[in-house]
Amino acid sequence: MKKVYILSGAGISQESGIPVFRGEEGLWQNYDIQKVCSLKGWEEDRDYVKRFYDERRVELKNYKPNRAHKIFAKLESEFPNQIYHLTQNVDDLLEHAGCKKIIHLHGTLTHLRCQKCQNIFYIGYRSQKSDEKCSKCDSKDVRHNVVMFGEVAPNYRYLYTLSKECDLFVAIGTSGKVIDIVDLSKEFKKTVLINPNREEYVTIFGSNDRFIDTYFDIFIQKSAVEAADELYELIKEYLLN
């Protein structure tokens, strides 16, 4: 049975209005990345980091899934057990679109994690209480469930283990700066890249630095929403033939 491996990034959720972390209009323009998204920053000022993630969590309830999110849910529904979707996003828009089997590589905003027993529990879109307790062991040593720089991302173990089961790789809405999509693409027989920009990292240049091609078999230079229906047809044709 054919299977498809999808890796999505911030470009998908950005089209629903969620600010990306990097770039000219990214959150890092207003926040010091080392203070709010690193283990060192967390250890130095937990209240400050907690407020940052509380704000992101409360804001999340205002965003809605877009066409790209819905197309992935449609594919999952039509081809059960044939779609593996790993996302770098910490929002829940894929779930709201109807996706059931999503691997969040960097955690989830809507959950907290107990640092004593490692239990992960849902709190929705509210701020973390000052006396918040773990739903399992009652410990107050709980924090946001988002992976920070300086700590291990447990779900990264799926990046290469699941690739062994799939032939088609789709990278969408990701620049490849966080996860090496070029190296990952080497694990697959067929590869697709969807990005509105020609990122230098995934571009092959010839003499005089002139653009030749990408490392991917198919490059669709469109945003996730613009490419959603085209991608649906591409994946559907691949799985049916």
Percent of the chain whose predicted confidence (pLDDT) is above 90: 83
Provide the pairing of β-strand 83-87 with 102-104: parallel
Q: Note the residue count of the chain.
A: 241
Residue 19 pLDDT: 83
> Which residue is associated with the tokens 């209480």?
129
Is the pLDDT reported for residue 26 higher than 80?
A: no
What does the pLDDT look like over 214-226, one tens digit per residue? Answer: 789 999 999 999 9
User: Max CA-CA distance within the chain?
Assistant: 62
What does the pLDDT look like over 102-120, one tens digit per residue? Answer: 999 999 999 999 999 999 9
* CATH architecture type of domain 19-62+107-146: 2-Layer Sandwich (3.30)
Percent of the chain whose predicted confidence (pLDDT) is above 70: 93
Q: CA–CA separation, 121 vs 136, rounded Å?
A: 9
Residue 33 pLDDT: 81
Hey, which residues are catalytic here? Answer: 106
Residue 212 pLDDT: 57
Q: In the predicted model, what is the mean pLDDT of residues 84-105?
A: 97
Q: Enter the CATH code of domain 1-18+64-106+152-241.
A: 3.40.50.1220
Pick the closest to residue 68 from 237, 235, 191 (CA basis). Answer: 235
The domains of the chain are located at 1-18+64-106+152-241, 19-62+107-146
Confidence bin at 209 (pLDDT 50/70/90) = low
On whether the CB atoms of residues 147 and 153 are closer than 8 A, the answer is: yes
- Across all residues in the chain, what is the average pLDDT? 92
Is the pLDDT reported for residue 24 higher than 60?
A: no
Residue 211 pLDDT: 57
Pick the closest to residue 196 from 217, 173, 218, 216 (CA basis). Answer: 173
Compute how many other C-beta atoms are within 10 angstroms of the C-beta atom of residue 221: 13
Return the DSSP state at 127: P
Return the DSSP state at 138: -
For residue 121, how far is the Cα from the chain centroid? 19
Q: What are phi and psi of 83, to 5 degrees?
A: -120, 120
On whether the CB atoms of residues 130 and 47 are closer than 8 A, the answer is: no
What does the pLDDT look like over 186-207, one tens digit per residue? Answer: 999 999 999 998 887 787 766 5
